[in-house]
Amino acid sequence: MKAHRTSARPIGRTFAVALRRPFVAGGGSSPGADHVDTLPPVPDPKRGPRSAGRPLSGARALGGVVLAGAALGCAAEPGVVLQGGRYDSVETVGLQVVLDDWFRAERGGWRVVGYPELQVNRHELNGDKLWQGGVFATFRVDPAHARMRPYLEAGLGANVFSRGDLGSKDFSTRFQFGEHIGIGVAWGGNTGGTNETWVGLRFTHYSNAGIKKPNPGLEALQLVLGHRF
C-alpha cells in the first residue's frame, strides 16, 4: 500500500505570500491582493512630541501683520514711500506702501482723505537693531484744488516688533500700538490719486498702551518721500 503524498508549499514562500496580503479587520486576509499596507510612522523618541501650540517667532508675526494688511488692499493702486531719520539716538529707516483711499470728503475748499498704509522699519540704537511692521489708517487734510498742496496728516495703527527690547529699552510686549502726525507738501495728480508726489516730516510713537509694564515706548522722526503710480 502506497502512502498518500500531500503537496507542501515551502514555509518561506508561504510567509512571503502572507506578507503581500493586506490585513482585513474582522479576521483573515484579502485574497488576490498584491500590495502591502504600511503602518503609521513611529515618532522618534529622541525628538519628542511636536507641540501644536508653539509661539510664532518675531519675524513670523511681523510678516503676518504685513501680509494681513496687504490682503485688505490687494486691489488698490499702490504708492511707495521711503522714510528715514533719527530721534533720541534711535536711527530709523523704512518703507511704506500706501493703498487707495477708502474715505474722501470735501468742504469749504478743503479735502479730507483716509487711506490704509503698510510699513516696515528698522530701528537701530547703538548698534542694536529691531524690525517693526505695522498697518495704519492715515487721514490727510489739504487744499482741494491747489497745484501745490500743503498737508497735515495723522494716523493710528497696530504693530509687531521682531524682539521685545532695543538697547536699554524693555518693551515687555512685541505688540505695539502706533500713532503718527506729519506735515508736508504734495504736487501732481490728486490726493490719493495717480501721479501724486509728496515730501514731508513725520513723527511716530509706538507703545503698548500700558498693557504690560515696563512700557518705555519708542519714537521715530522721519523725512518721507512718496509717490503714487
Q: What is the pLDDT of residue 212?
A: 95
Q: Evaluate whether residue 47 is within a structural domain.
A: no
Q: What is the pLDDT of residue 192?
A: 62
Cβ distance 200 to 185 under 8 Å?
Answer: yes
In this structure, the answer to whether residues 28 and 63 fall within a common structural domain is: no
Q: What is the pLDDT of residue 50?
A: 40
In this structure, the answer to whether residues 107 and 149 fall within a common structural domain is: yes
Q: What is the pLDDT of residue 47?
A: 44
Q: What is the DSSP letter of 162?
A: S
Q: What is the pLDDT of residue 128?
A: 96
Burial class of 217 by CB neighbour count within 10 A (0 to 12, 13 to 18, 19+): middle
In this structure, the answer to whether residues 22 and 87 fall within a common structural domain is: no
- Chain centre distance of CA 81: 18
Q: Evaluate whether residue 51 is within a structural domain.
A: no
Count of domains forming the chain: 2
Instruction: State which residues of the chain have pLDDT below 50.
Output: 1-38, 45-59, 61-76
In this structure, the answer to whether residues 149 and 96 fall within a common structural domain is: yes
In this structure, the answer to whether residues 35 and 64 fall within a common structural domain is: no
149-176 confidence digits (pLDDT tens)? 999 999 999 999 999 999 999 999 999 9
CATH number of 86's domain: 2.40.160.20
Euclidean distance between CA atoms 221 and 202, whole angstroms? 6
In this structure, the answer to whether residues 123 and 76 fall within a common structural domain is: yes
Cβ distance 208 to 179 under 8 Å?
Answer: no
How far CA 58 is from CA of 49, 129, 160, 187, 206, in Å, comes to: 23, 13, 8, 38, 16
pTM comes to: 0.67
Euclidean distance between CA atoms 122 and 94, whole angstroms? 6
Cβ distance 196 to 184 under 8 Å?
Answer: no
In this structure, the answer to whether residues 13 and 86 fall within a common structural domain is: no
Domain boundaries, position 34: 8-39
Q: What is the pLDDT of residue 189?
A: 82
In this structure, the answer to whether residues 189 and 113 fall within a common structural domain is: yes
